[in-house]
Amino acid sequence: MKTKFSALLLFFSSFFYAQQSQTCDTPENEPALDLNSITKCTIEKSNDKKKNKKVSFQVTSRRRIRRKKDLVKGVNNNFSKKISEVKKKTQIVNSLTLEGTNVSNAISFFNVDEIPLFESCEDVAIMKQNKCFKSKITEHIKNNFQYPNSSYNKGIQGRVLVNFVIDKEGNSKITNTLFPYKGEELRDEANRIVNKLPKFIPGKQSGVKVNVQYTLKIMFDIPGVKKTNIRKKVNTIDLDEVYTFDELERTPTFKECFSNFDDSFDCFANELKKHVIKNFAYPVDALDNNIEGIVYVSFIINSEGDVVNIKAKGPKDGEVLEIAAKKLVEKLPKLKAGYRDYKRVNTKYQFPIEFSLEDE
């Protein structure tokens, strides 16, 4: 079966379509994310020993600097599209680091003085090296892409974002991968493709070799086939009784905590922290318009363990931040419900997310 591809570079990403691959459409009301920022979060524990300790998250980024648009032609067998790359490096400032990954000193691909190069691009004129890089990475995708059979047969489609760093030795190291609902096989395929990238000529900043961060966006699409992996939205529902964490005998838990027989608040907080790191980044629209502030998010974990009744309240003109925060909570997995009087009950939880911009 022949697979057709198209490639687009959008923001910090290379955007690929496999026509017998899948596509994950971003909802119209979902804000774009700054993919070359690394989200960090902090956990603030209250001094008391109650179970309703608060979890606080902070997302910090550099203010956006607008640059002259660089028009790039997307590649397809039958057509081409023009899109612009107009992104600015962002940097998260916080005390936490991603587990097992040290990319705090990585520079954005579109901000580094000398970009990493495929060996075949080394002798290309400097002004054409960017184009050569995109061409070679597109070729690499075409030559290595294999649609997972099981996902293809089930109609599982979606967008996969692979964030990776090309280090000072020219090796590619994946930092994290975002993938659609039920898209684990798509994630594995995208990671496999990135792991097969050849060794690069390292990028340089002021003549010194540096780590360079890049985001690869791969769209899996099966033309004519309806996507089956659509998460059902849970509407606001009426609940008779709702409790807070400190009113329960056993608090709601993530499956990882349940598997480790750990129903402590610390485990809940740590898993929530991991979810934020894995799924969130500063909204691009907020960067463009210098929007920052605190968003208070509340939700209910019902007696079945589903996350429902999600609400967000942010600063004035901060709707884009509210939408981003709600989308983050919507992606929470099914949890184990909390217990009161030996029965599963509905539990309400609220936490703040602070969006902060720093000057260069």
* Domain count across the chain: 2
- Considering the domain architecture, whether residues 177 and 283 belong to the same structural domain is answered as no
- Considering the domain architecture, whether residues 186 and 248 belong to the same structural domain is answered as no
56 domain-assigned: no
- Considering the domain architecture, whether residues 31 and 179 belong to the same structural domain is answered as yes
143 domain-assigned: yes
Distance between CA atoms of 16 and 194, rounded to whole angstroms? 13
Distance between CA atoms of 275 and 35, rounded to whole angstroms? 16
Write the burial class of residue 21 (CB in 10 Å: 0-12 exposed, 13-18 middle, 19+ buried): buried
Domain CATH for 352: 3.30.1150
Burial 293-331 (b: 16+ CB within 10 A, else e): bbbebebbbbbebbbbbbebebeeebbbbbbbbbbbbee
> Using an 8 Å Cβ cutoff, are 219 and 22 in contact?
yes
Residuewise pLDDT in 10s, the chain (360 residues): 433 333 332 333 343 444 333 333 344 444 544 443 333 333 344 344 444 556 666 666 555 444 333 332 222 322 222 222 222 222 222 222 223 334 447 898 988 999 999 999 999 999 999 999 999 999 999 999 999 999 999 999 998 989 899 999 999 999 888 888 889 999 999 999 999 999 999 999 999 999 999 989 899 999 999 999 887 665 566 677 899 998 999 989 999 998 888 888 889 989 998 888 777 767 777 777 888 889 999 999 999 999 999 999 999 888 989 988 888 898 899 999 999 999 999 999 998 888 887 654
177 domain-assigned: yes
287 domain-assigned: yes
Range of the domain at 133: 5-38+98-220
67 domain-assigned: no
- Is the entire prediction scored with pTM above 0.85? no
> Using an 8 Å Cβ cutoff, are 16 and 5 in contact?
yes
Phi, psi of 157 (to 5 degrees): -135, 165
For the stretch 247-277, pLDDT in tens is: 999 989 999 998 888 888 889 989 998 888 7
